[in-house]
Structure 1
Amino acid sequence: MKKRILSILLVLTLVLAAFAGCGNSDSKTDDKEGKTYKVAYIARAQSDSFAAWLANEMKAAAKEYDDIQLEVFDGQADDEKENAAIENAIANGFDAIIVQPNNGEAQRPYVEQIVDAGIIAITTNARIDNIKGASSVDADPYVQAKVNAEAAIEQVPQNGKVVVLKGPSGNFHADERLKAWKEVFFAARPDVKIVGEDFANWNKDEAMKLMEDWVTSQGKIDAIISMNDNMAAGALEVVKDNSKYANILSYGVDGTAEACLLIEEGKMTSTSLQSAIDLAKLNLETVHKLLTGEETQIDTDIDAPLITKENASEYVKIYKERGLITE
């Protein structure tokens, strides 16, 4: 790429200090105006580029509230570690706990413990449905995939060969995005053949390994259908210098800085925005309303606009302003 994305590792380093389990260095203390609310954010995994972005944006959004002290903890993409972090947050007397599940059903009983302890509970990215007393802030994963799938109907060539990169099994977002692709795209295009399909668990390295195998075993591949941008970028990395794949189509979800640059440069076809900026702002707005008693239950979603070659530069500009892309 001519433009350089600010190293994800450097971005993650900024998150690690908070993830260590210590208080946010920007946290606020009680003042004369009233109570300061302690809020724990249990992130899925600092190794996940979107999760790391969301954690950074949560910290930034918290700075807008003088009465909120936010602490961030890392679930390390491990159910046992994430569940232990939730239990510790309950024991440490937080006023609210926001959980980004690694596996919704594995975290469900622990979020129920939050509610039972009389602590405000919010699940986000992805929500865990049907927990009485818990609120949620999320995006609609079906819609996120649907906008890409609708575009792909006209873009994928007749009798095209495609590969499908799936998110973690049982993950609400992964399952709903795949469902949308099946119901919207594959139902409309029975001529298209899936020549490779597997779980890459949101992970770029896993996606690269799968794509390497598929390129070797299948030869021609017309499109990459991915449940997130990170996996799509990994698959594209494998074929970037292979002229045989110069016109390969690729679809993702999240609207990450990397994906927007790839789209702007014509190397990726489209993605839909799952804005960590908007998610973080809405989470903090929601938790503040719940803490102050303005609302008692909130379930809300952000929008999922489609990002293509025509509008990718608008999002690249936003990322440059936030320091996530440098020249």
Structure 2
Amino acid sequence: MKKRLTLLILATLLAGGLVFANGKADSGSEKKRVVYIARAQGDSFAAWLANSIKTEAKKYPYIKLDVMDGEANDAKVNMLIENSITNKYDLIILQPNNGEAQTPYVYKIITAGIPVILTNPRILGLSGVNSVDADPYEQGAVNARLAAKQVPKNAKVVVLNGPAGNMHSTARRKAWQQEFFDKRTDVKIVGEQIANWNKDEAMNHMEDWVQANDQIDVIISMNDNMCAGALEVVKGNTKYKNLLAYGVDGTAEAALLIKEGRMTSTSFQNAYALATKNMELADKILTGNVKNLVNTDIDCPLITKDNVDDLIAAHKAAGSLK
């Protein structure tokens, strides 16, 4: 496993924009205008992905990339989509905030004849679009399978979910249900709330749960940002020295928390690889080198104390950690 992760990260660093090329296909002197609409740059993973796409776009000098922030607000995301259509971008890369809310607006993009790539997450059942994503069920499942072995008998757990209607949040929670809760019927959920991928919201929920419960053994979070917020609430409290905590993303913060022994595991949703695949696909679309719709996934390896040094090295190489 460790060898596989090391090779995966090495390949990412070589292909993911840390060594810049002089550009891809020559598309003439006219710049192609691409917009990336981020779900919410206040979310650590969304910010990481947006920054990675900015970096990766530098490999394509004929592309002019604009990045816009949806601020975790469906109305704002939809407005940005409409503005991008009005401004006649050559290609739109969209990170949906809520698949159901964004679906009618994605169809507006298609009707306008503008190619679109959905990323992190794709919208299930939506036709006529390209996508670059990861398997959210497996992202939850790799953690849940580990937890099934680690979590003590009769443990009490709290659960932090992402936004309602978000495919990644729903699928990760489904994985935890099928791979953990259905098998570990001795475990009791003493608190479960939506925290919208947000650290501050997660802190507020955790503060309530700590006050309401004498015992909390496990934090199960659908992303690292919420997990880090919950852990901040009990930082330094010896009552929670054996607390287990699981997340998804493999952010720089999560890597350090795992190294410190405060977080148990995460699933590496590699924003560097997502950025590479998004911009490679954008280049192929803009230069006419793709004939059919493309839907592709990245891997989601489990990160624990045994291999976290490789992840820390990747973040340092990318400049996300010093």
Verify same fold: TM over 0.5. Answer: yes
Show the counterpart of 1:309: 305
Question: Residue 306 of structure 2: SS of its match in structure 1?
Answer: coil
Show the counterpart of 1:298: 294
Q: Distance in 2 between matches of 1:50 and 1:207?
A: 15
Show the counterpart of 2:42: 47
1:88-127 correspondence runs (5 A): 88-127=83-122
Show the counterpart of 1:12: none
Q: Does 1:252 align with 2:269?
A: no
Q: Which runs of 5 or more residues in structure 1 are unaligned?
A: 1-27
Q: How many residues are aligned here? A: 298
Report if the CA contact (8 A) 2:221-2:246 is conserved: yes
Amino acid at match of 1:132: S
Amino acid at match of 1:131: L
2:320 to 313, 324, 327: 324
Q: Distance in 1 between matches of 2:193 and 2:124?
A: 26
Deviations 1:159-218 (A, max 9, x none): 111100111111100000000000000111000000111111111111111111111111
Q: Does 1:263 align with 2:262?
A: no
Of the structure 1 ranges 147-156 and 32-41, higher mean CA displacement relative to structure 2 is found in: 32-41
Show the counterpart of 1:140: 135
Question: Residue 185 of structure 2: SS of its match in structure 1?
Answer: coil
Question: Residue 76 of structure 1: SS of its match in structure 2?
Answer: coil
- Compute the displacement of 1:280 (Å): 0.6
Show the counterpart of 1:163: 158
Q: Does 1:197 align with 2:197?
A: no
Q: Distance in 2 between matches of 1:44 and 1:297?
A: 23
Q: Distance in 1 between matches of 2:211 and 2:126?
A: 46
Show the counterpart of 1:228: 223
Amino acid at match of 1:245: Y
Show the counterpart of 2:281: 286
Q: Which runs of 5 or more residues in structure 2 are unaligned?
A: 1-22
* TM-score normalised to structure 1 length: 0.88
Q: Does 1:216 align with 2:211?
A: yes
Q: Which runs of 4+ in 1 moved over 3 A?
A: 31-35
Q: Distance in 2 between matches of 1:287 and 1:131?
A: 19
Q: Distance in 2 between matches of 1:35 and 1:151?
A: 51
Q: Distance in 1 between matches of 2:201 and 2:127?
A: 36
Of the structure 1 ranges 90-99 and 283-292, higher mean CA displacement relative to structure 2 is found in: 283-292
1:179 to 174, 180, 205: 174
Amino acid at match of 1:252: G
Report if the CA contact (8 A) 1:290-1:297 is conserved: no
Deviations 1:64-100 (A, max 9, x none): 1122211111111111111111111111111110110
Q: Distance in 2 between matches of 1:324 and 1:98?
A: 23
Amino acid at match of 1:104: G
Identity across aligned pairs (percent)? 60
Show the counterpart of 1:188: 183
- Compute the displacement of 1:323 (Å): 2.1
Deviations 1:120-163 (A, max 9, x none): 01111110123332111111100000000000001000111110
Q: Distance in 2 between matches of 1:129 and 1:186?
A: 25
- Compute the displacement of 1:32 (Å): 8.1
Q: Which has the higher contact order (CA 8 A, sep 6+)?
A: 2
Show the counterpart of 1:38: 33
Q: Does 1:242 align with 2:230?
A: no
Tell me the C-alpha RMSD between the 2 structures: 1.5
Of the structure 1 ranges 206-215 and 315-324, higher mean CA displacement relative to structure 2 is found in: 315-324
- Compute the displacement of 1:321 (Å): 2.0
Deviations 1:15-44 (A, max 9, x none): xxxxxxxxxxxxx9xx88454321111111
